[in-house]
Structure 1
């Protein structure tokens, strides 16, 4: 055999094995060729002594003799290693007599491998030439780690995979193999290996990982690593029943006509989908790792979409949960239903289409694609509800806060649509928007007529059942003195739509919303016209008036002086603190004291003026400048908070000219003097604080008298005349007399989340009747009558009647009544397993108790063996896992 090529590492291994029995000899003859790139001189440690080594490659006997004679006359104990292909018979005994072992040493790869791993034995399967060669070539600079007594095949192959192709062998599975396929260098390093090493590694990976490795590495070997996952995702179409033959041929072409078994392909597809799921979950978590996972995911699915389009398979893959094209198809399916008559059939169909859209794995990565669709379906559900007649101003503003604000939220999102241009989706959104807007305009016109009649005689003494804007401090803020000095935050221009969204996000984190009327937020009626100078001044002074900021501050102090309290009102210019302080020192000092504090925040009103509200489809507490800091300070000092608007607003949604509506007597964007025209109403009376007690205001939202802005106020629509009031407490432990916690479910209309009306209603459970002992009928009566239908027993009742529940109950001090817990379980199941902690507390009849403590008690009753049957997240939502409940309590669904 021709001599093998070796390098200095093999030389060191040979010397390490041979020098202990060298008996002082300094010549080593090795049957090999020395790699030209390897160093000719180096040193080794022998018995803790460093010895120099010189390596010469000499293929002739004369060259060997000359090299040895030159070396033996050198001083020291250095070693000469000569690599040669000359046979022992040609060397002569005089030369061999000086050589270690008195012979030419041969290179035994298995012995070298054994030595390098520090093993005494090798698994026989390691002795295969391809694996020995790979181990010798792949050794890292620091050497192989010690393997123990026996070097196994698995350990050897894993070592090669890690060093030669970059596959993490410590966590090797189908997912990690797919991750590796998307790296820049890993697949390229695999294809650079000798063919026998590729085959050996592929065979081992197929045994270890399964069919995924067979398909993936076949594609990698063909230089298609980058698109391997995309190809596999498209190949999922082959599992569809009755697939057209041309589609199957197209997939075969994408696979490059690989000889892949169906089970291997299915394993490959399943592994790809599992990996994409994992990447999507990481992307949702955010951060640098999440961003990287998002890019990998989108690269694969977009490649797959392009391959599917090129192969004519887009339509067949419409049910795929990962492709952007299938997300678009599901979005179009929702939009197609929006033009239907809003009857029960359309609602059910829309709900199913929306569920399929939400189930798409990209939906959570592109929430903007689903937000408008969800809002459009909500509008469809609202359109299916009967319109309640507006018979009073009090009823109109109350209904606007309870329902109209949610409608406005949905309208805003649907008007904005989604980022990508899709005419089919846009047409569906436009149709449901126009239908909802037409109904809103009919309601606005009806409200304007009632408002004109009411305004003519409405006073604080005779408000017609309405809460007037100047009565908010007296009716809402003053009773909170029993809890502590309140913080009154005026969010100038906060509409009902903004208020209900802020309320959703504030409650339970960690605020508790409370109300004077069970299940209802307070809604005040703004002044006429609904402008800041009149409505905000009346709110802050507690009397009907107009005033500037100084008048508001003076009036605020005077109001609280009448209640024997000191007070301070802070406007926009005095809120900000110095460097390093978010809030001004005097404001923080006031919040820490016992004075009543009022703060005016202008973020919403400024957004209307400066064009930002028009593009905004949602409001969060952090979007209101200084609101989070004020709320944190209030909570720290145990203050109740009144979050109140002085008026609402309407948004600019005109797609036409920027020119204002022509009119005479224009005083502001939404009020003027003179005679009313179409879409307008004349208002006169004691609550009209401008225009000498008589103004003309529009009730249509698309009328404005001044230049275009993002939104306006001053008109007669419910959106402008309604001033929402949110009352927040740091905890429910100290409720004012007669007040109750306000569960989030009570503030959401039933159509908003599509749940049954009874799911969110808080009622006491009916008393349980004692079970009757069945009586055996008289023999002569048997068979005369059919047996009565059995009365179904609810899941909740079956849980609390179970032996498991009885055992759990023994470990809970003062547990709630069994009938109450049964009703709570049934309520949670009816609400798709989710209720707010406040609603749970009200269900159990402990509304004034800390919801977190109550939920902890219920968890001790229901979380058998620590399994999370009942849980509560950071937002204050309580979740019941119905399947786990049935399993843990041994309920038979029959």
Structure 2
């Protein structure tokens, strides 16, 4: 008689079913078990009759239970008493009360097994009858849910899976063997707090034959790659099983390793075999174990990862500290990879740049690379990425060489364009490279690159200041450059007024937002409102960046922005000027309503005002009463005093009220204009305070003699003109980034660097096609292609080559030889001469006369070249090994930067007949399959 079998409700139902078939309508049965009853004290049988279940552990308790049955009200026909007592323990009077059986009944093990698995049969050889009670008892006490046997037939595989899943607690660890199941799941379980205890119970309570069957099934389920890990599990249990898996990662063979590292790996492999006692693991077994461990690492406790690092480095374990860099999970592995990255970046100073890119990829492949601090990024990786990007920036056509015009302001517009499309991104890279990294070696090389770039950017600032101190100081000399006081007239009014109609616009002034800060913010807008807000720009992007008024401070530049004319003052001046401008812009238009402008106090509310965020939202949604709503958001400007903008990546959530206002504008169908009043520079800890003193951090009155207007004196420039809003229309503005006149703060503005004087102007629309059609006559707009978000040098490429055409793509710029900077050492020397092969008409001969090709070119809308012109573009691409950058191809097609995406898409349509991929886009490159092109149009092969 087995005492370990637990009686289940199904066991009782089967006894009753048997008696019902024998025409019994009631019974009092005693069932033998020493396991506690886990079911209800009373339940309804499928026949509708009630069943009462009672436990009685002693003869006295059994007699008492039987005496209560006649007194049941209402009567229960089926009564079952569970007891550990045997037949010899039952007195005669007790036996007399039982019927139809007068002895203790037992549950058949096989029937109990079937009951446990809701099965009707057991396949041969699944389990020995003698092993059933212990196995079921183990499952009963494990607390897991037993999955019914498929199709009612219990197999050895199903039994094994349930013994492990339910018995070892895999289900509570989220492991489902019927779905995606692998060694990583087992390793994740092995690192849980109760894994060792459950394994001990498994070994102690499950019959050996059942254990072996279960583990054999597990080996088959996980595959050959798990063999070494399972040998470890059999010998040691789950303790440190996950950690040893992580340790296996450093034992893989690396063909690129030097002799010393190879020797360390060989010794560590021997130590692994001796320590784990798993035999000689194959390469596949080590890979399988390590791959699974790495996959499970994201859900493993940190203590297990620390154990793995100790196993790798401890002298009494693997003694393989030299191999720690191979670990993609252990924190020490990331530190080792960063040190290697620092060495590779340093080596790149002599031209070995490919190794630096490879070392960066190696570091980024580590788990720690994605762990972030408060800035939302890993500073080590961010600094290295910024360093390589700055290398590419300094070697590109967008290197800040002098952008000069002819004295009519053409160069001024070019500088603003260059700042917005390239230099502002370089500013971000300098910030990231400047940050303190965890590795002092990495910090040294990134800081040197940042200094190198700052010098070059500083030279650009001086060249810009020389131009802007004259052209930007006088409205008559500004040329085509967009001025801050003209933003309302040139941008907002065309969006607001169409004929005699007034369209709703929301003007958001983000005080102090630089072009660099706008780069981050626009990325956040795209990701936060994916596909909802579309950035619009003019064909040549000449209205995407405005020039601040001088000095570049809030009381002058913001007042001028919101008044639509040069103005000085605070909120009262801005409110009055905004209302007057709106009245003039909508004069004579019916239903124009009024414009309303909100400042910081209006948005936050308080005891002194009842204008809260809800009130502002209501105004934004009131498109008929307030077609034009303006709001000043001060978060960025405030941060220059209170936080560290050097490491700040501005997002929608960072700017107080911005999300709420954009949501309200979306509901109201408003076009949104994001604009600043001036930019800013950040303090890098090296700025010195000038003894001259000043009216603000970056400007002072021109109260000293200056030999020549515009001459730079100690990093300053004198400005003189009607756009200089001082009493005498003169001022001295700081140009060198490290010059300040007041106490140290996190950031500054007021001077004449491009970062301070450039103002981003961003137009956002939910209906770009409708906006383009509506403003075609007054403000021709196109939707800005996402590919143009970053400059061409931004994407990291080991094969990045310098382009010699200085100032390429800058409106109004000529291309003089850039002035040579002072020697800055050899850090990432990018002086590479690129020879462009001459094109020849023998390549693709006859293409321009092909009827099909000519017709497809004729149908083009963006590309204005004829068939011969397009054919020459293809020949040029072919002469460059069939690959060029998009930025190089766009000018060949005669389109502006903003039309680049549409032109390349159109070129694909022209060439790729019937979907054949002759011409394709690959990241920032275009590729051409010359052989397919020849076949496509039936051309002769030229020599």
Q: TM-score normalised by the shorter chain: which range applies?
A: 0.7 to 0.9
- Secondary structure, in 3 states, of the residue corresponding to 2:723? coil
Give the one of 596, 603, 616 matched to 1:575.
603
- Counterparts of 1:843 and 1:235, CA distance in 2: 48
Q: Which residue of 2 aligns with 1:605?
A: 637
- Secondary structure, in 3 states, of the residue corresponding to 1:318? helix
The alpha-carbon deviation at position 265 of structure 1 amounts to 6.6
How many aligned residue pairs are there? 765
1:741 aligns with 2:789: no
- The within-5 A match list for 1:251-262 is 251-254=269-272, 257-258=275-276, 260=278
The alpha-carbon deviation at position 608 of structure 1 amounts to 1.0
- The within-5 A match list for 1:439-588 is 439-454=456-471, 458-481=473-496, 484-506=503-525, 509-519=531-541, 522-565=544-587, 566-576=594-604, 582=614, 584=616, 587-588=619-620
- Counterparts of 1:144 and 1:722, CA distance in 2: 68
- Secondary structure, in 3 states, of the residue corresponding to 2:125? helix
> Cα gap change, 1:523/1:170 in structure 2, threshold over 3 Å: closer, same or farther?
closer
- The within-5 A match list for 1:239-388 is 239-240=252-253, 244=262, 247-254=265-272, 257-258=275-276, 260=278, 266-267=284-285, 269-270=287-288, 272-274=290-292, 276-277=294-295, 294-296=298-300, 300-310=304-314, 311-339=318-346, 345-366=351-372, 367-369=377-379, 370-385=381-396, 386-388=399-401
> Cα gap change, 1:150/1:49 in structure 2, threshold over 3 Å: closer, same or farther?
farther
The alpha-carbon deviation at position 240 of structure 1 amounts to 0.6
Q: Which residue of 2 aligns with 1:646?
A: 677
More displaced, 124-133 or 466-475?
124-133
The alpha-carbon deviation at position 537 of structure 1 amounts to 1.3
- Secondary structure, in 3 states, of the residue corresponding to 1:225? coil
- Counterparts of 2:791 and 2:904, CA distance in 1: 19
The alpha-carbon deviation at position 498 of structure 1 amounts to 1.1
Q: Which residue of 2 aligns with 1:662?
A: 691
1:123 aligns with 2:103: no
Q: Which residue of 2 aligns with 1:874?
A: none
1:622 aligns with 2:665: no
> Cα gap change, 1:372/1:295 in structure 2, threshold over 3 Å: closer, same or farther?
farther
- Counterparts of 1:696 and 1:308, CA distance in 2: 62
> Cα gap change, 1:375/1:446 in structure 2, threshold over 3 Å: closer, same or farther?
same
The alpha-carbon deviation at position 275 of structure 1 amounts to 6.0
The alpha-carbon deviation at position 546 of structure 1 amounts to 1.0
> Cα gap change, 1:716/1:475 in structure 2, threshold over 3 Å: closer, same or farther?
same
1:158 aligns with 2:161: yes
- The within-5 A match list for 1:744-823 is 744-746=786-788, 748-754=790-796
- Secondary structure, in 3 states, of the residue corresponding to 1:647? coil
Would you say the 8 A contact 1:491–1:645 is kept in 2? yes
The alpha-carbon deviation at position 318 of structure 1 amounts to 2.5
- Counterparts of 1:359 and 1:414, CA distance in 2: 20
The alpha-carbon deviation at position 181 of structure 1 amounts to 1.9
The alpha-carbon deviation at position 300 of structure 1 amounts to 4.7
- Counterparts of 1:190 and 1:506, CA distance in 2: 52
- Counterparts of 1:751 and 1:232, CA distance in 2: 41
- Secondary structure, in 3 states, of the residue corresponding to 2:468? helix
Would you say the 8 A contact 2:600–2:632 is kept in 1? yes
The alpha-carbon deviation at position 532 of structure 1 amounts to 1.0
1:185 aligns with 2:185: no
The alpha-carbon deviation at position 747 of structure 1 amounts to 5.1
More displaced, 321-330 or 579-588?
579-588
Would you say the 8 A contact 1:650–1:701 is kept in 2? yes
More displaced, 635-644 or 244-253?
244-253
- Counterparts of 1:837 and 1:155, CA distance in 2: 62
TM-score (norm 2): 0.69
- Secondary structure, in 3 states, of the residue corresponding to 1:753? coil
- Counterparts of 1:210 and 1:28, CA distance in 2: 49
Q: Which residue of 1 aligns with 2:94?
A: 71
Q: Deviations over 1:726-752 (max 9, x none)?
A: 223323213122333332434532211
The alpha-carbon deviation at position 338 of structure 1 amounts to 4.2
The alpha-carbon deviation at position 118 of structure 1 amounts to 5.9
> Cα gap change, 1:23/1:648 in structure 2, threshold over 3 Å: closer, same or farther?
closer
The alpha-carbon deviation at position 615 of structure 1 amounts to 5.3
The alpha-carbon deviation at position 715 of structure 1 amounts to 1.2
Would you say the 8 A contact 2:196–2:238 is kept in 1? yes
The alpha-carbon deviation at position 510 of structure 1 amounts to 2.5
> Cα gap change, 1:178/1:264 in structure 2, threshold over 3 Å: closer, same or farther?
farther
The alpha-carbon deviation at position 35 of structure 1 amounts to 8.3
Q: Which residue of 2 aligns with 1:288?
A: none
The alpha-carbon deviation at position 653 of structure 1 amounts to 1.2
- Secondary structure, in 3 states, of the residue corresponding to 2:7? helix
Would you say the 8 A contact 1:671–1:714 is kept in 2? yes
> Cα gap change, 1:187/1:446 in structure 2, threshold over 3 Å: closer, same or farther?
same
Q: Deviations over 1:586-644 (max 9, x none)?
A: 522554546322222211111112x2243543111332222233333333333322222
- Secondary structure, in 3 states, of the residue corresponding to 1:406? helix
Would you say the 8 A contact 1:473–1:539 is kept in 2? yes
Would you say the 8 A contact 1:582–1:629 is kept in 2? no
> Cα gap change, 1:546/1:221 in structure 2, threshold over 3 Å: closer, same or farther?
same
1:210 aligns with 2:246: no
More displaced, 245-254 or 575-584?
575-584
More displaced, 182-191 or 512-521?
512-521
> Cα gap change, 1:136/1:639 in structure 2, threshold over 3 Å: closer, same or farther?
closer
- Secondary structure, in 3 states, of the residue corresponding to 2:453? helix
The alpha-carbon deviation at position 33 of structure 1 amounts to 10
Q: Which residue of 2 aligns with 1:723?
A: 759
Q: Which residue of 2 aligns with 1:430?
A: 447
Would you say the 8 A contact 1:190–1:198 is kept in 2? no
- Secondary structure, in 3 states, of the residue corresponding to 1:749? coil
Q: Deviations over 1:312-365 (max 9, x none)?
A: 32432424443433333333344334456768x455443333333334444334
The alpha-carbon deviation at position 378 of structure 1 amounts to 1.0
The alpha-carbon deviation at position 791 of structure 1 amounts to 5.4
- Secondary structure, in 3 states, of the residue corresponding to 2:768? coil
TM-score (norm 1): 0.72
Would you say the 8 A contact 2:602–2:611 is kept in 1? no
The alpha-carbon deviation at position 548 of structure 1 amounts to 2.0
The alpha-carbon deviation at position 256 of structure 1 amounts to 5.5
- Secondary structure, in 3 states, of the residue corresponding to 2:549? coil
Q: Which residue of 2 aligns with 1:174?
A: 183
> Cα gap change, 1:256/1:15 in structure 2, threshold over 3 Å: closer, same or farther?
farther
The alpha-carbon deviation at position 837 of structure 1 amounts to 12
- Counterparts of 1:830 and 1:55, CA distance in 2: 84
Structure of higher RCO (CA pairs closer than 8 Å, 6+ residues apart): 2
- Secondary structure, in 3 states, of the residue corresponding to 1:363? helix
> Cα gap change, 1:655/1:67 in structure 2, threshold over 3 Å: closer, same or farther?
same
The alpha-carbon deviation at position 838 of structure 1 amounts to 8.4
The alpha-carbon deviation at position 841 of structure 1 amounts to 4.2
Gaps of 5+ in 1: 83-99, 281-293, 763-787, 794-799, 807-813, 847-853, 872-876
- Secondary structure, in 3 states, of the residue corresponding to 2:740? coil
- Counterparts of 2:36 and 2:756, CA distance in 1: 88
- Counterparts of 1:465 and 1:878, CA distance in 2: 30
The alpha-carbon deviation at position 497 of structure 1 amounts to 0.7
Gaps of 5+ in 2: 38-54, 70-75, 171-175, 405-410, 588-593, 707-712, 810-839, 846-851, 891-896, 937-943
- The within-5 A match list for 1:627-638 is 627-638=658-669
The alpha-carbon deviation at position 401 of structure 1 amounts to 2.1
